[in-house]
Amino acid sequence: MTRIGYIVGSLSSTSINRQVAKALVGLAPADVELVELDFRALPLYTPDYDADYPAEATAWKDAIESVDGIIILTPEYSRSLPGSLKNALDWAARPWGTNSFNGKPVAIAGASISSVGTAAAQQHLRAILGHFNALTMGQPEVFFQYNPAAFGPDGAVVDDAVKAILSGFLAAAVAHVEAHAPVAVGA
């Protein structure tokens, strides 16, 4: 079974990216487990913590390291990624020499009510992940314009065009993770 963690880059209780994440969970094949990697308990990062990492930060790093790959669903705030997501990424990369994203396969998508989706946020996120040496999927790029009518009351995708976009992205993300995830010793 392939285990892929997903990170919702928004803290909002009404996050549209969380709704998209739940739709991806519903579209996942039977041999793929999508699990949320939740960073909401993290305090604001400062190097003052590097000598004595808090339990929340250690749990966050362990969660990243426990999955075969990651999908990040980011909103776009002020033409960039949310500060809370950047904070979580900073925790994952510290202390120096313990970067949890090093060599980790990652796929990025994002939803917005804007017609340009989350293009600028994703470019900034790609720059950060490049610095982290994460194996970031290049295509397909999904700058998803959110339409609430595309989702049913249970969160499932009811619009065929949206379902095709999300299914295609998920299939590519799974293939990317499976192609680049470390092979377990003795497997």
pLDDT tens digits, residue range 131-185? 999 999 999 999 888 999 999 988 899 999 999 999 999 999 999 999 997 766 5
16-27 vs 160-180: helix axis angle to the nearest 10?
A: 70
| Closest-CA residue to 8 (of 53, 52, 45, 40) | 40
DSSP 8-state secondary structure symbol assigned to residue 47: G
Q: How far is CA 130 from CA 16, 149, 174, in A?
A: 26, 35, 20
Residue with tokens 């990170």: 7
Report yes or no on whether pTM surpasses 0.85. Answer: yes
pLDDT tens digits, residue range 3-34? 999 999 999 999 999 999 999 999 999 999 99
Position 60 pLDDT exceeds 90: yes
Decide: 70 and 173 in contact? Cβ < 8 Å: no
Which pLDDT score, from 0 to 100, does residue 144 have? 83
Point out which residues pair with 109 in neighbouring strands: 73, 142
Residue with tokens 């470019």: 123
Q: Which residue pairs, CB below 8 angstroms and at least 24 apart, start in 125-128?
A: 125/72, 125/74, 125/81, 125/85, 128/81, 128/86, 128/89
